[in-house]
Amino acid sequence: DIPVAEAAQKPVKTLPDAQLVTSVKHWTDRLFSFRVARPQSLRFRSGEFVMIGLLGDNGKPLLRAYSIASPNWDEELEFYSIKVPDGPLTSKLQHIQPGDEIILRPKPVGTLVLDALLPGKRLWFLATGTGIAPFASLMRDPETYERYEQVVMMHTCRTADELNYGRELVENLRHDPLLGELYGEDFASRLLYYPTTTREESPLMGRITDNMTSGKVFEDLGLPPISAETDRAMICGSLAFNVDVKEVLEGFGLREGANSEPKEFVVEKAFVGDGI
Ligand code: FAD
Ligand code: A2P
């Protein structure tokens, strides 16, 4: 038995792989982001995902895959999450507050990593909904700009408010004084942003697939059409989105790669299921 006074001084870790929540921000009634302490030993490649969760009612961990949205140099880990009304995890996770603990299994994996692509000139990030999370990590990683002259973030959501997490992040990055110092004052021209909505009026509209096949995105951004020589891409959205974008990219002559066999594009599901 440990004497009471000594026990009182021991840090209480109630959960296995527990990590402290440091901040939470709600973006809409369906979306929120939060930050947690980073386990000292956790190394990951920007774009990878981990399993996180809470203790379920049965006392067992209830875990789900989550992309790490923060870059690998960050002292904390950031996540960007959906709130599924009846979702086993997110119906609870949406109520976390600073000071609470979550479970984080420190085994990062995933296909959306720079090493899975051949070198190129321009890198396209193609996302719907919370699929922007891995790119929130990669856009903040200087390695991305070491490898590619230009990065294009295309993000599509049904409504304009669902774009706000990504919009704020990209706007801040494009005018980040440190990145400006590293890469010159025209850094903003190296990170292009193309946010669109499909079910609410906004300055740019339409599905990513349609804006690519029609050529509208290339015209709007003043870029040449995608080619296998210069362009690389990463896709993250619903299964239907991933399948359709893959077809469009293959139409431009790009091939799907993997960690073990780098090619011109890689794909990962933003979630399993039909969406809500
Ligand atoms: P679940 O039972 O897991 O899901 C219920 C239903 O909700 C699903 O069938 C699907 O139709 C829908 N749904 C689930 N997640 C989403 C979503 N993100 N967007 C739209 N509809 C959804 N979720 C995130 O919020 N952020 C992430 O960064 C993230 N990264 C992931 C990475 C990978 C590789 C995978 C496979 C999934 C990822 N997910 C992410 C989804 C996540 O694992 C859970 O499904 C989500 O947290 C909901 O959990 P739940 O238990 O509440 O509901
Ligand atoms: P749309 O409104 O035309 O269906 P969801 O919430 O259903 O996951 O969709 C998120 C965004 O992704 C929406 O803007 C939606 O457009 C778009 N989207 C859904 N499926 C596809 C697809 N197969 N190809 C391209 N865009 C898609």
CB distance 270 to ligand 1 below 6 Å = yes
- For atom 9 of ligand 1, which residue has the closest CA? 273
Confidence grade of residue 214 (pLDDT, cut at 50, 70, 90): very high
Q: How far is CA 6 from the centre of its chain?
A: 43
Domain chopping of the chain, boundaries: 13-108, 114-269
Question: Which atom of ligand 2 lies at the shortest distance from residue 240's CA?
Answer: 23
Given this model, what pLDDT does residue 10 score?
53
CA of 114 to the centre of ligand 2 (A): 25
pLDDT at 2 over 60: no
ipTM over cut 0.95: yes
CA of 276 to the centre of ligand 1 (A): 10
Q: How far apart are CA 257 and CA 17, in angstroms?
A: 33
Average confidence (pLDDT) over 108-113: 97
Given this model, what pLDDT does residue 5 score?
60
114-269 topology per CATH: Rossmann fold (3.40.50)
Question: Which atom of ligand 2 lies at the shortest distance from residue 210's CA?
Answer: 25
Average pLDDT, the chain: 94
Given this model, what pLDDT does residue 242 score?
98
All residues at 6 or more sequence positions from 17 whose CB lies less than 8 Å from its CB, including other chains: 39, 103, 104, 105, 106
102 or 40: which leads in pLDDT: 102
Q: How far apart are CA 237 and CA 110, in angstroms?
A: 14
Name the token pair of 163.
């774009």
Average confidence (pLDDT) over 3-18: 62
Q: Among residues 242, 236, 22, which one has the least CA distance to residue 110? A: 236
CA of 218 to the centre of ligand 2 (A): 20
Given this model, what pLDDT does residue 212 score?
98
pLDDT in tens, 18-61: 999 999 999 999 999 999 999 989 999 999 999 999 999 898 99
What is the pairing mode between strands 101-109 and 18-26? antiparallel
Q: How far apart are CA 27 and CA 13, in angstroms?
A: 30
CA of 126 to the centre of ligand 2 (A): 12
All residues at 6 or more sequence positions from 48 whose CB lies less than 8 Å from its CB, including other chains: 67, 68, 108, 109, 110, 112, 113, 134
pLDDT at 9 over 80: no
- For atom 29 of ligand 1, which residue has the closest CA? 66
Q: How far apart are CA 79 and CA 134, in angstroms?
A: 9
Q: Is domain 13-108 annotated with CATH 2.40.30.10?
A: yes
Given this model, what pLDDT does residue 206 score?
98
Centre a 10 Å sphere on the Cβ of residue 182 and count the other Cβ atoms it contains.
12
Q: How far apart are CA 218 and CA 36, in angstroms?
A: 38
Given this model, what pLDDT does residue 191 score?
96
Question: Which atom of ligand 2 lies at the shortest distance from residue 238's CA?
Answer: 8
Given this model, what pLDDT does residue 153 score?
98
pLDDT at 185 over 80: no
CB distance 87 to ligand 1 below 6 Å = yes
Q: If residue 76 lies in a helix (H) or strand (E), which one and from where to where?
A: strand 76-82
CA distances from 7 to 4, 17, 80 (A): 5, 20, 36
CB distance 66 to ligand 1 below 6 Å = yes
Q: Among residues 98, 90, 218, 80, which one has the least CA distance to residue 162? A: 80
pLDDT in tens, 136-162: 999 999 999 999 999 999 999 999 999
Confidence grade of residue 274 (pLDDT, cut at 50, 70, 90): confident
Given this model, what pLDDT does residue 16 score?
73
Given this model, what pLDDT does residue 4 score?
59
Q: How far apart are CA 264 and CA 258, in angstroms?
A: 9
- The region of weakest confidence among 177-186, 240-249, 261-270 is 177-186
* pTM for the full predicted model: 0.95
pLDDT at 13 over 80: no
Given this model, what pLDDT does residue 11 score?
53
